[in-house]
Amino acid sequence: MLGPLIHRTSLALAIIAGPFAAGAMAQTIVDGSGIRIADEIRQEIFERVTEDFRDPLSSQFRRLHRASKPGRYCGEVNTRNLYGAYSGFKPFLVILEPEFKSVDLVPDEDLKKENAEEIKTKLQTIKDAGCQFGMR
């Protein structure tokens, strides 16, 4: 007799918890940064940075802030790799201007030796935009 009751209770809990469980997998800011950036701009930054990621909803952001040049936003993003593990935080620059939008994201560490010049150029672009981190 308890079997059907337990099953119905479990089903009801799953229905109630469903929307909350999905929200737990959304992109997160892990250090509380970016609070001075409007919600819609933060969302556009998340979408642009993660659009080519394998698992964009699990992405973690930190050090999110406006750069010293208008329309530019900086931060670091951590995402899951092919094996499901986080690959480490990488700096990014997002340019959001009415006529021009772009993202500069430093490639994975695995590519460092092969693309050392590309990485150096991207880090310099991020620094030139007014970001205060990312230069190693």
Residues 6+ apart with CB under 8 A from 93: 67, 72, 73, 74, 103, 104, 125, 126, 129, 131
Give the number of domains in the chain. 1
**Residue at 116 is within a domain:** yes
Does residue 128 carry a pLDDT above 90? Answer: no
101-105 sheet: strands from edge to edge? 28-29, 60-66, 72-78, 90-96, 101-105
Do the Cβ atoms of 42 and 35 come closer than 8 Å? no
What is the mean pLDDT of the segment spanning 19-29?
A: 59
Chain mean position to CA 76: 7
Cβ-count burial of 51 within 10 angstroms (0-12 exposed, 13-18 middle, 19+ buried)?
exposed
* Predicted model pTM: 0.71
Does residue 48 carry a pLDDT above 50? Answer: yes
**Residue at 124 is within a domain:** yes
| pLDDT confidence of residue 81 | 86
What is the mean pLDDT of the segment spanning 80-109?
A: 85
Give the percent of the chain with pLDDT over 90.
Answer: 43
**Residue at 14 is within a domain:** no
Q: Determine the structural domain holding residue 55 and report its residue range.
A: 26-128
Do the Cβ atoms of 74 and 131 come closer than 8 Å? yes
